């Protein structure tokens, strides 16, 4: 909740007071600086008043995502006033929160809370020092509202901060000490001052302290969204609320390096969770429009921050509905002639991650909530949508079972049979062709996914596979695999040894006792070379290879995964294909449309 607060801001240690007149507090909204700025300092002072000789305070600096950057405390110890310095703070427009307790060391009764906006961007690259003052017993004589005079487009979300003041001091208020309303019908605001712009026009955000009958306003103008159609929009669903978080900043930097063509836009929904991984560079869910930049800093346009659910919690990016909502929002606000959807996370092929294993892999695994999107939930996420390319920046997802599940939603599917490096796609290499020649055919541009992975120097010693599948060819391939499964089942007595040998010698991908993923073409090649395999099985296998080759339009691998050919398949034995594994597999469209699951149920 937001409570009474005050700001005294200056540069290089300077200060000043806030007057008792005027309608609002000018300044930027909470969030990162628009330019790179050195770390700053908050110089906090408090006059204890009649708060009691044993009183104490906890002082925190909190960023726009609600993460505590620095915390300190002070006991009164009988003095009239105290000072606390919080230094080396990451630049940004933050809040400083002071909690006043009746007892020492943050014990006793919580007497009140004050939150103060601290702008550590205002001094530019040299950094800033901001003075903030509170008083422990003065009543509020007025209330001001931060970020006065903003002009924001529709759908922008702004966190406002109320300022209860008495002269130059912030005043402490009880919990729920401020109520919020919007004047002019330009949007909505929740109980904590979070405003969502909805309707074009001029209005104001009003903060009221009912106990003191004082009100403050901050003017806001909501402008029409400027929606333009471009040639390409690349929607990146970047769920970094897991142990891959450290690679996500680098990937956005790579997008910035290739974002110079205005006809090729990158729109990113990006989550990190400091609850799950304290070293994350931010906390919560953000939406960015990527802007060109060659530095190591994120300089893209932050379109929305702290994107939350109806209860104010960060979005669950392991939910199919969250993916669906992002796609709908992205296409509505950044329409294009053609679209790419990049799904960024861990991957586990068609399989779900085992419950209770937060470090295991699944598609879009959100460690904050322990959730993931299952392959058979694709319809829930993508129904009604169509992309020119769906690209899996994940492990193990270039499987026939997965591609078949998504075939209705894209013309081409890019991905890796293997578990690629955690850094994932080198976006600047993958999308260089889009930037340079956006009018090229989708088929030709999709080759960038293969070339980018193979031509990235740091990946020379890593297991690299990448392919692009044309979804129009998948029904024929699935039918051919179904026939192979039927022939294998009909000739079990003759193929037992050959099947077991092919399972143990064909190209495998991150194998475990339960993950039995094999390259489909390599598998068929080995089966056909075995003299014990009946002709009918060999004929069916050869047809699978031909249909797979027709479906795989681009393929590349290095020597570390030498027998990869572009698409894998589950080749479990019946001993493995039981229980929840089988029941999960039966939820796949591939199982419904083919006889492959019948073969896996009896496979030697």
Distance CA 175, CA 163 (A): 14
Nearest to 94 by CA among 128, 142, 133: 128
Indicate the pLDDT class of residue 466, thresholds 50, 70 and 90: very high
Q: Is the pLDDT of residue 117 over 80?
A: yes
Residues 6+ apart with CB under 8 A from 535: none
Of residues 130 and 441, the one with the higher pLDDT is 441
Average pLDDT score over residue span 364-391: 94
Residue 32's pLDDT band (cuts 50, 70, 90): confident
Q: What is the pLDDT of residues 456-465, one digit of tens each?
A: 999 999 999 9
- Residue 122 has a pLDDT of 63
Q: Where are the beta strands (DSSP E) in 48-186?
A: 56-62, 68-75, 81-89, 93-103, 107-119, 129-135, 142-145, 150-153, 157-159, 162-166, 169-171, 179-183
Token pair of 185 as six digits: 């019908």
- Estimate the crossing angle of helix 520-529 against helix 492-505, to 10 degrees: 130
For the entire predicted model, the pTM comes to 0.84
The per-residue pLDDT for range 267-279, each reduced to its tens digit, is: 999 999 988 998 8
CB-neighbour burial class of residue 185 (10 A; exposed 0-12, middle 13-18, buried 19+): exposed
The C-alpha atoms of residue 18 and residue 12 are separated, in whole angstroms, by: 18
Mean pLDDT value of segment 320-347? 97
Q: Residue 8 pLDDT more than 80?
A: no
Cβ atoms of residues 206 and 180 within 8 Å: yes
Burial of 1 (0-12, 13-18, 19+ CB in 10 A): middle
Q: What is the mean pLDDT of the chain?
A: 91
Per-residue pLDDT, 16: 31
Mean per-residue pLDDT, 573-578: 96
Higher pLDDT, 352 or 316: 316
Task: Tell me the C-alpha distance between 498 and 603, whole Å.
Answer: 11
Q: Residue 553: its pLDDT value, please?
A: 98
Strands 157-159 and 142-145, by their bridges, are unpaired
* pLDDT, position 1: 28
Taking each continuous run of H as one helix and of E as one strand, the counts in the chain are 14, 29
Compute the Cα dihedral for 342, 348, 349, 354 and give only its sign.
negative
The pLDDT of residue 354 is 61
What gap in Å lies between CA 108 and CA 123, rounded to an integer?
39
Q: What is the pLDDT of residue 36?
A: 65
Strand, coil or helix: 466:
strand
Confidence class for position 361, pLDDT limits 50, 70, 90: low
Q: What is d(CA 505, CA 523) in angstroms, rounded to the nearest whole number?
A: 8
* Range of weakest confidence among 155-169, 230-244, 312-326, 338-352: 155-169
- Scan for tokens 């594994």, then name that residue: 581
Q: What is the pLDDT averaged over residues 112-127?
A: 77
Q: Are 97 and 33 in contact (CB under 8 A)?
A: no
3 state DSSP class of 77: coil
- pLDDT confidence of residue 121: 84
């Amino acid at each position: 909740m937001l409570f009474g607060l005050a700001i005294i801001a200056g540069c290089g240690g300077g200060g000043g007071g806030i007057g008792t007149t005027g309608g609002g507090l000018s300044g930027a909204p909470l969030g990162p600086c628009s330019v790179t700025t050195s770390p700053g300092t908050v110089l906090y002072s408090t006059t204890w008043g009649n708060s009691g000789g044993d009183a104490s305070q906890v002082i925190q600096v909190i960023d726009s995502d609600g993460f505590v950057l620095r915390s300190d405390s002070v006991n009164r110890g009988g003095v009239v006033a105290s000072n606390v310095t919080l230094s080396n703070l990451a630049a940004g427009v933050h809040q400083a929160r002071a909690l006043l307790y009746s007892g020492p060391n943050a014990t006793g009764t919580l007497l009140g809370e004050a939150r103060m906006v601290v702008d550590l961007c205002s001094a530019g690259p040299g950094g800033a020092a901001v003075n903030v003052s509170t008083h422990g017993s003065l009543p509020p004589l007025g209330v001001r509202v931060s970020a006065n005079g903003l002009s924001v487009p529709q759908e922008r979300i702004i966190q406002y901060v109320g300022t209860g003041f008495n002269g130059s001091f912030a005043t402490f208020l009880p919990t729920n000490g401020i109520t919020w309303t919007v004047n002019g019908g330009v949007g909505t605001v929740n109980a904590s001052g979070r405003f969502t712009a909805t309707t074009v026009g001029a209005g104001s955000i009003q903060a009221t302290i009912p106990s003191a009958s004082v009100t403050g306003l901050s003017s806001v103008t909501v402008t029409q969204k400027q929606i333009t159609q471009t040639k390409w929009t690349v929607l990146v669903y970047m769920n970094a609320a897991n142990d891959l978080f450290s690679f996500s900043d680098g990937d956005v930097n790579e997008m910035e390096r290739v974002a110079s063509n205005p006809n090729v836009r990158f729109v990113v929904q990006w989550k990190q969770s400091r609850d799950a991984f304290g070293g994350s560079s931010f906390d919560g869910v953000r939406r960015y429009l990527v802007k060109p930049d060659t530095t190591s800093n994120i300089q893209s346009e932050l379109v929305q921050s702290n994107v939350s659910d109806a209860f104010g919690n960060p979005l669950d990016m392991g939910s199919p509905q969250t993916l669906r909502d992002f796609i709908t929002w992205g296409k509505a606000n950044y329409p294009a002639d053609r679209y790419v959807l990049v799904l960024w996370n861990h991957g586990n092929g068609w399989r779900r991650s085992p419950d209770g294993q937060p470090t295991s892999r699944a598609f879009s695994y959100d460690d904050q909530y322990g959730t993931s999107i299952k392959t058979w939930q694709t319809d829930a996420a993508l129904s009604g949508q169509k992309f020119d390319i769906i690209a899996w920046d994940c492990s193990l997802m270039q499987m026939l079972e997965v591609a078949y599940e998504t075939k209705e939603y894209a013309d081409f599917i890019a991905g890796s049979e293997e578990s690629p490096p955690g850094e994932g796609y080198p976006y600047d290499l993958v999308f260089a062709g889009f930037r340079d020649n956006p009018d090229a055919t989708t088929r030709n541009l999709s080759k960038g996914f293969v070339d980018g992975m193979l031509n990235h120097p740091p990946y020379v010693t890593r297991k690299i596979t990448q392919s692009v599948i044309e979804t129009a060819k998948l029904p024929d391939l699935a039918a051919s695999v179904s026939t192979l499964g039927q022939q294998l089942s009909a000739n079990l007595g003759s193929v037992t040894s050959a099947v077991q040998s092919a399972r143990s010698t064909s190209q495998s991908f991150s194998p475990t006792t339960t993950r039995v993923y094999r390259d489909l073409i390599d598998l068929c090649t080995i089966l056909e070379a075995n003299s014990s395999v009946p002709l009918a099985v060999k004929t069916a296998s050869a047809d699978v290879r031909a249909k797979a080759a027709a479906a795989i339009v681009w393929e590349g691998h290095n020597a570390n995964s030498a027998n990869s050919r572009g698409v894998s398949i589950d080749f479990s034995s019946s001993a493995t294909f039981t229980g929840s594994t089988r029941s999960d597999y039966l939820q796949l469209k591939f199982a419904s449309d083919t006889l492959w699951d019948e073969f896996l149920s009896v496979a030697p």
